A and B are shown apart, each in its own frame.
Chain A
Amino acid sequence: MNAHASDTLPGALLAAVVRPNPRVAFRDIAGQVVVVVPDARKVHQLNPTGSWLWRVLSEEARKAGPAGAPLPELLRSFGAHFGLEAPAAAADVAAFLATLQQEGALEVTPSDALRQAGYAPAGEPGAAEAEVAEVAS
């Protein structure tokens, strides 16, 4: 990763923190994280990349206390682990986090940080890609 995430991150994300929604249940089952969202009656199975990210964010959030884990740090760890440039890491991670937030699995503070930065849940039309391209250029 050549650039630090905060060099390219939209401003709305710089002060954002994330943590698993305290209402969910989660566990690593055979190498994949399974997240139960009781309020939505849904069980999410995360793929290996999403599972890696969940493990890091839940551990970082635990260490950080009630506030949650700083999002820029999370993006930096993700980019470093998967060898991605900051904009690509931000696009992947932020869309995923937006999906988890929409599903009630994740708390983001401020709650509209991802949307403000142009990241929509995966599958939902949003400005994330355009935004990242802009930031990267």
Chain B
Amino acid sequence: MTEVLSDLRAFKLATGAHHFASATIEIADRCNEVCVHCYQIQGQKGEMDTAQVCAVIDRLADAGVLWLTLSGGEATLRRDFRDIVAHARSRHFAVRLMSNGLRIDDNLADFLAEQAIASVQISLYAMTPEVHDRTTGVPGSFEKTTAAIRRLRARNIAVDVAMTVMQHNVDDVTPLLAFTAEVGARPSISGHVFAKEDGDRQTEALNLDQDRYARFFADLQSAAEQQSEKKAPEEAPPPAPNPLHGRPCQVAKASVHVEANGEVRACALFNHTFGKVDTGKGPVEVMRESEDAALLGGLTWGHIVGCRVCDLRPHCHRCFANAQDEAGDALAPYASACARALTVYEHQTGALAWESPPGDAPTGPFREVEPGVLARTEDTLSAEDIALRERAPWLRPARNLAAPAGSPAAARAREGFVPATRLARSAGISTNQST
């Protein structure tokens, strides 16, 4: 009567059944680090109080959510942090915490162990103390964060070590993998920095250039190969063909995200608010009743103009939120995804040549002329594409800002930036009208 599953398979069970099994609540709109690459701007949203957070947790439990991630900002900065965790556990959630670890001393680690928290994700950016501290902006943070990881592991708490790889810390990937293996933590490594939530894209300059990305990718591949040698062959991940009816990610399908002020989003990064929890509805009800959420949850590769005709699709891990930031259009190719797909393609085919010079930072769609040889190609807009754009202008936020002339938001919009909803709102401008 029982079958042991991986988290991932249980999540697929949920997505297959269109069940919202996972939720994140950003409980703190503040942080005790100032990471150079962070997409968040702290201290502007405001925070739900204890009763409001617990009410959201109750609504999520009633809606059948199992995995609950508490994040921030830095969630542990809240005075009622322990009350919130205890309340979530009393409602039988598998609680995950996202933290920088600075406040996880022995006492807090004991509490998390007592509460049988499912896992803690700790951000660690380097095994070179100066590099980590420079990234977080907090001297001494490397020592505190690594000590917190060891403390949690000593109490048998599962730890995911999250590293965002950038230009300045790419050489730390291999040492960090060695550290996670030593302490028995799981590495969670991302090679992408997002624009800030107010649309400022300066953080993107920290992203790996093409050469460093290729090196990073090769490091990860060899680590994965070493790992898979230890595993049975049937456990190797299947290739991702990314068929046209498939989805690039499960956004708006099985998980929901609640901002510190109660705004309901599909994920932390996708720039659209589907409703608010202070209307008496829980986050899952907000998503279920939202036509916008249904639309987002139904988007497939076949809806993405350009990508649907691109031969690099099986090698591509594009993201709707990223496309909003970079291309101003969730349904368009964007340079950094294309660059990463080209790197993966080259690694897997062993060659990359062009039929004719593609120019700098080539953006797809691409056609495979023969194995290892690519050419740029084109796609055409259909009547359905145009109808979709009209129905959901929020998919293309940078083309959609009605800002007073001369305002900072208007300047950002002219430059193609995506405005953060709350900043646009505080400037008294609407993000829901087409210009």
Name A residues whose Cβ lies closer than 8 Å to a Cβ of B.
Answer: 20, 22-32, 34-36, 38-39, 41-47, 49-50, 53, 96, 99-100, 103, 122
Contacts and interface: CB of A to CB of B under 8 A. Distances in A.
B1 A30 contact: no
Contacts of B95: 25
B380 interface: no
A96 B19 contact: no
Contacts of A41: 158
Given A25-B118, A27-B92, A34-B13, A50 B66 contact: no
B116 A45 contact: no
A43 B2 contact: no
A45 B14 contact: no
Nearest to A42: B4
B5 A43 contact: yes
A38 B2 contact: no
A44 B5 contact: yes
Nearest to A26: B92
Interface string B222-256: 00000000000000000000000000000000000
A32 B16 CA distance: 13
Contact of A39 (B10, B17, B94, B116): B116
A116 to B, nearest CB: 22
Interface size class of B (residues with CB under 8 A): 20 to 34
B211 interface: no
B420 interface: no
Contacts of A23: 116
B65 interface: yes
B1 A47 contact: yes
Given A27-B21, A36-B66, A45 B92 contact: no
A97 to B, nearest CB: 10
Given A25-B94, A27-B66, A38 B13 contact: no
A53 B1 CA distance: 10
Given A25-B94, A27-B92, A36-B66, A50 B17 contact: no
Nearest to B114: A23
B161 to A, nearest CB: 16
Given A38-B116, A38-B118, A39-B116, A29 B1 contact: no
Contact of A29 (B14, B157, B158): B14
Contact of A36 (B13, B65, B94, B157): B94
Given A25-B92, A25-B118, A34-B66, A44 B3 contact: yes
B407 interface: no
A43 B10 contact: yes
Interface string B351-388: 00000000000000000000000000000000000000
